[in-house]
A = this chain, B = another copy of it.
Amino acid sequence: MRLAELSERSGVSTATIKYYLREGLLPPGHQVNATTAEYDEEHLRRLRLVRAMIQVGRIPVATVREVLGHVDDDSLGRTIRLGAALWALPRLPEPDAEDEHVTAARTEADDLLTALGWTNARLLTSISPAYRSLVVAVAALRRLGYDWGAELLAPYAELMHRAAVLDLDFVESRESEAERVETAVLGAILISPMLQALHRLAQEEESARRYGFE
């Protein structure tokens, strides 16, 4: 398809598409002659992913380029490739290692992973931004003076593991490896807000079931 059709099918203006091409977020089209290039379904798919990252994920262009670099690097194994794409997403700063609450939270997070039998996640703690986020969140709770134990988190973690199984089953249902890695990145951006909305809706539902509306 020509640029005009790519624009129409994606809902992205031709000016924006040209900008993405210049920034290297979209691979160049197949040059038909000096002034015309052809684009295919892979361009359309990539364009949607870039759009999702920038518009919904509010990810800076430089980070989008970095994530796509991992997505396209098929020399990496799949776990690393899926993970590397997520690890390039915006992340929290490293928590202060001197802070007593951080040290305590790290121990609690480690104990939780051990109790859950998440031995693989346990191996990744030094580099995983998800582990870092968990430590930051638990440390925040401690700093505020709440002593709710990390053991409260175990049943939530089991639920999130079931969610991860659903995620990966869906990723695996995609046809090509490129599509699978792209879907993992998309999921990381689009699934969280939906899960949060569903969680709050479920709270409303459960609350009304228990206490009614009066």
Contact = CB atoms under 8 A, between A and B. Distances in A.
Nearest to A45: B145
Interface residues of A, number: 80
A13 interface: no
Given A163-B202, A164-B199, A207-B83, A194 B138 contact: yes
Interface stretch (A18-26, A28-36, A60-68, A72-80): A72-80
Contact of A213 (B77, B155, B156, B210): B77
Interface in A155-214: 155-157, 159-168, 170, 186, 188, 190-214
A61 B45 CA distance: 43
A214 to B, nearest CB: 4
Given A199-B160, A206-B165, A211 B78 contact: yes
B201 A121 contact: yes
A18 to B, nearest CB: 19
A141 interface: yes
A206 B56 contact: no
Contacts of A17: none
Nearest to A210: B168
Given A11-B145, A48-B146, A133 B163 contact: no
Nearest to A138: B194
29 contacts: A48-B144, A52-B144, A79-B207, A80-B214, A83-B207, A118-B202, A120-B204, A120-B209, A121-B201, A128-B201, A129-B200, A130-B198, A130-B199, A131-B197, A136-B193, A137-B190, A146-B186, A153-B194, A156-B166, A156-B195, A157-B201, A157-B202, A159-B159, A159-B160, A160-B198, A161-B206, A167-B206, A195-B199, A196-B196
The 4 A-B residue pairs with the shortest CB-CB distance in the complex, in nearest-first order: A130-B200, A120-B208, A164-B202, A133-B197
